[in-house]
Amino acid sequence: MTKTYSNPVTESVVALNELVLGCAPSSAMATMYLSVAHAAGMGAQNNIATQQNLNILNTAAVSAAAGNILWEGMTDQVNKLTMTDRLKNWEQLVAIISGEKTAPASGEQEGTGEEGAATAGTDSAEGA
């Protein structure tokens, strides 16, 4: 129960104080809930950012490892080639780039095997 005062200013100040004191617990709880929600949201964002960065690092690691594996294989193959084989490969590449037909590599016969049958079929189709 509120006490009545003769002065209207005093009465309004007392009513305002009662209003503030009555709203204080609910305002405090609302502020606390907002703080907890903000902290939970920031924690979730931090987890997502960490997961994305780990995915990027994993992809980079796999790409680097695959590149190293491929590079080692290519280096090994190139080191085993003789100068004659390297020269033949170079001549074939130049012929392909210039659009010339290349002769089959040594050991391969035109028109035999699956690859030869496929090329023989395309050669006859071109001539028709």
Residues 51-96: tens digit of each pLDDT? 999 999 999 999 999 988 888 878 888 888 888 988 998 899 898 9
Tell me how crowded residue 104 is: count the other CB atoms within 10 A of its CB. 13
Q: Which of 54, 57, 53, 75 is closest to 65 using CA atoms?
A: 57
CA distance 3 to 128: 114
In terms of pTM, does the model score above 0.85?
no
Phi, psi of 112 (to 5 degrees): -115, 150
- Show Cβ contacts of residue 117 under 8 Å, excluding neighbours closer than 6 positions: 111
The pLDDT of residue 32: 94
The half-sphere exposure of 59 on its side-chain side, counting CA atoms within 13 A, is 6
